[in-house]
Chains A and B, each alone.
Chain A
Amino acid sequence: MESNCANRSRRRKLLALSCLGAALIAGSVSSAFAIGVQDECSVTNGYLTFLDFGPNGGRGRCGHLFDWNANWGAFGWSNRADDFRNDGNTHNACIYPSVNYQGIPRHLIRGAVTRWYDTVDSNAWTTSPTCPRPPAD
């Protein structure tokens, strides 16, 4: 069902974007059990998987990241992803509302899914029960 439409590789950084097949988002996307990243994006072990909902409940776009990324704008995903799943096996994932790991992050345990509309700008990984924070300004 899925075919890769773009692959962009950076040093120690990878973002794989996938165009999705025919699945259409049905019902309200705000429901806890609404169709989202769990349905639309394949599990990629070791990655943070995320989905940008398509317009008007249409097709979405998936991305997968490993490593820390201080600026999602660098690959065109600033404030864009809506649904997130931690497919990592060795770390909890942290997603931040601003670049350079600024703002109040969300901590995503392994295997968990969460929704945070058009907000995330950087991501990190941790084995701590809280997210790493840069030193206060």
Chain B
Amino acid sequence: MRRKACLAVLAGLLCWFAVLAPHEREASAVHRAAVPQQHAPVVSRAAAHAATQSRVQTVQRLEVERRIALSPTRVDRLAELQPNREQSALLWLAEEELVADCMKSRGFEYWPHPADTDSEANPAFTRPRPGDVEAARSEGYGLWRSLTGEAPSREPPPDPNADLIKAMDPVRRAAYFEALRGPNVSPADPSVRQRVASMRMPGGAMVYWYPESCFARARSRLYGDEYQNIMSGPAHVEAEENVESLVQADGEYTRARDAWRACMLRRGQSVASSSDASAELLRDFHAGKLTLDTLREREIEIAVADADCFVETGLGPARRAAHERAEREVVRDGQDQLSAIKRNQQLALARAATVLER
């Protein structure tokens, strides 16, 4: 316990040195730059006042962040690691401000993009829910609709920099995008390999990016460089995957799935799961074994049986209960790592507020 507390303090200090200290040094450099102006008394007083204010703000910010870094944090549900709409918007707006700062320092104009907070209420999420017999009768699994282009969708908001980028000559445009996203060169090229950062995701997949790009620098200033501990990082993904593995192995849920399969068989449908049924229908369609019309007919037939069996065998409640059990276990076993993610989220929110208050 004591060892864990020490580790938490050490992690907090490391976080401070890695993320906050460089910014503090930048602030100090600004203060030093103000010193020669002492020859002009009026300017000097204003500069000194501004410097003092800035220093006070920096100290206050560091104090808030230090408290967050050292405060005990506990995670009870994985959903707690999902920021709410306001938090997401705050983080995005701050990130965009930092991108704009970075681009400005490289000689480019950049208009911050507004936060797109409608994602969670996306009409694309209005698919037929499992067990909804009425929806299954009219929509099936929603495959026909997605194939005929009638699936609800949404267009992303326009890019506020589009006109600016369009007006640039090709050379300037290439330089702009290099500043923003990094060189358009393969990370396999020896000339840029040293400039590439990478991270291993669960399952072995790598993610790699150019850490000197303005997108990456802004993100790093907001979230820190410890990618293991960010909300979308590998630790979070791994926790979710562990929950899903436990759900799939759960005895009660397995029995409910077996009952569902038996129910489907009684209705003449030999399928392992709803997703397998959808995948098979699509395969048959692309192989020319089904036309659009026969696909629709067939998917409604299977989806209605699926929904009936889902209700009859209690598959939904069985899955929810299995998920609950699995989540409790994963959260208990991964508490240290998950708390670190939550703490990092709180730190990022504090930094975001500071950026937007400037």
Chain A residues within CB distance 8 Å of chain B: 10-13, 30, 32-35, 38-39, 43, 45-46, 66-71, 73-74, 76, 78, 89-92, 98-102, 104, 106-116, 124-137
CB of B314 within 8 Å of the partner chain: no
Return the CB mask of B202-220 against A: 1 if under 8 Å, else 0. 0111111110010110010
Cα separation A109 to B165 with both chains bound (whole Å): 20
Q: Is B57 an interface residue (CB 8 A)?
A: no
Across chains A and B, which 3 residue pairs bring their CB atoms closest together, nearest first?
A107-B232, A111-B181, A128-B88
In the complex the two chains form, is B177's CB within 8 Å of A43's CB? yes
Q: Is the CB of A115 within 8 A of B180?
A: no
Contact across chains for A67 and B156 when beta carbons are under 8 A apart? yes
Can you spell out 29 A-B residue pairs with CB atoms less than 8 angstroms apart? Answer: A11-B153, A12-B153, A33-B193, A38-B185, A38-B186, A66-B156, A68-B153, A70-B124, A71-B146, A71-B282, A73-B146, A73-B286, A89-B161, A106-B205, A106-B237, A109-B215, A111-B209, A114-B207, A115-B205, A115-B206, A124-B122, A127-B117, A129-B232, A130-B81, A130-B82, A130-B236, A132-B119, A133-B120, A137-B319
Q: Is B127 a contact partner of A129 (Cβ separation < 8 A)?
A: no
Which residues of A are found within 8 Å of B319, using beta-carbon distances? 137
By beta carbon, the residue of chain A nearest B193 is A33
Do residues B282 and A78 form an inter-chain contact, with CB atoms below 8 A? yes
**A112 and B180 contact, Cβ closer than 8 Å, known pairs A128-B83, A132-B120:** no
Q: Known contacts being A38-B187, A98-B275, A101-B125, is A125 close to B156, with CB within 8 Å?
A: yes
Chain B residues within 8 Å of A33, by CB: 187-188, 193, 196, 208
Are A112 and B208 interface neighbours, CB within 8 A? yes
B142 within 8 Å of A (CB atoms): yes
Given A70-B151, A111-B215, verify A137-B157 contact (CB < 8 Å): no
Q: Chain B nearest CB: distance from A89 CB in Å?
A: 6
Does B143 count as interface, using CB distance less than 8 angstroms?
A: yes
Does B347 have its Cβ within 8 Å of any Cβ on chain A? no
Chain B residues bordering chain A, tally (CB within 8 A): 77
List chain B residues, Cβ under 8 A from A137.
Answer: 129-131, 316, 319
> Majority SS of interface residues in chain A?
loop
Instruction: Determine the chain B residues whose CB is within 8 A of the CB of A110 once the complex forms.
Output: 181, 215
Q: Which chain A positions have C-beta within 8 A of B312?
A: none
Closest to B127 in A: A100
Which residues from chain B contact A39 at a C-beta distance below 8 Å?
A: 186, 188
Identify B180's interface contact among A38, A89, A125, A136, CB under 8 A.
A89
Interchain CB contact (< 8 A) of B216 among A34, A67, A111, A135: A111
